Amino acid sequence: MKRILIDGLPRTGTTTLARLFAIHPQTRVIIEPFHPRRYEGRHHQAVISAADTNQVFEFAWNQWNIIKHVWEAGVGWPFTRRPELQQRLWQSADLVIEVNRCNLAKRYLSAELSRTLRFWIGTRQDFVDRLRNVCLLPIDIEKAKEAIQRDREALADRTAFLKRENICTAGFLFEEFFGASTDQQFDQINTLFSTCGIPPLPQKYLRTHASRWLNPEVYQWSSEEVYQSIPNLAEFEAAFASE
């Protein structure tokens, strides 16, 4: 099977997509192996300190054929000490799924909430419970503008690099997927499976194994109720109306 990299910024749907790939009998999926605090940091430390990083990536691909990887623009995280590793990871894959979110302003808000709560993966209820115990500060509008511009430029650079290196790509759009009905989501994921060279799954199988990951009552954190907890939300919305 192809080596498939699910690649995107935080809070763009990469975790849900990885979970959907993980239900397929022919995949071996790992979520963020190069995160400095996941898996006791051993994969992160191995690649950061390696003289030959290709060997580390090769070791990972020999164990998993789907790797979910998130990164942040500007600081080169998670490869802060060696930002060139981001491109090397892209080059190690046979196919990169470019995960995107059109509304980068809402992605920024969602990521800032997760960062404040130190909560990145879990249920909606866990997220809301933690939010109740935190007094949020106003969003720095100028800082947000700079960050969103960095995100926009970094995503464009990713697309340009993958095209320049002739790396096969597939697209996954947050709004297109999460704004669809469940049946449409099943059709989208099967189309993505086919694009990646993986046999599609029957609707019944998807309904049995994938529905829980797509239940907004369980896993959708971002909602108007959540955003209303931000003190200067109206100012933020006015500043980013064009988004």
Question: Does position 25 have pLDDT exceeding 70, yes or no?
Answer: yes
Q: How far is CA 35 from CA 3, 79, 180, in A?
A: 19, 9, 30
CA angle 201, 204, 207 (to 5 degrees): 95
Q: Residue 17 corresponds to which tokens in the numbers above?
A: 């997509």
Backbone torsions φ then ψ of 7, nearest 5 degrees: -130, 130
- pLDDT value at residue 223: 81
Sign of the alpha-carbon torsion through 166, 168, 173, 35: negative
Q: Residue 13 corresponds to which tokens in the numbers above?
A: 């749907």
**Spacing of C-alpha 83 from chain mean position:** 18
- pLDDT tens readout for residues 189-239: 999 999 999 999 999 999 999 999 999 989 988 788 888 999 999 999 999
**Interatomic CA distance for residues 53 and 167, integer angstroms:** 19
**Interatomic CA distance for residues 118 and 59, integer angstroms:** 30
**Interatomic CA distance for residues 228 and 231, integer angstroms:** 7
Q: Give the confidence band of 241 by pLDDT, cuts at 50, 70, 90.
A: confident
Q: 17: which residues sit within 8 A by CB, 6+ positions away?
A: 6, 68, 97, 99, 172
Q: What is the mean pLDDT of residues 2-27?
A: 97
Q: What is the mean pLDDT of residues 23-31?
A: 97
- pLDDT value at residue 243: 67
Mean pLDDT of the chain: 95
Domain ranges of the chain: 4-239
The CATH code of the domain at 4-239 is 3.40.50
- pLDDT tens readout for residues 96-112: 999 999 999 999 999 99
**Amino acid identity at 211:** S
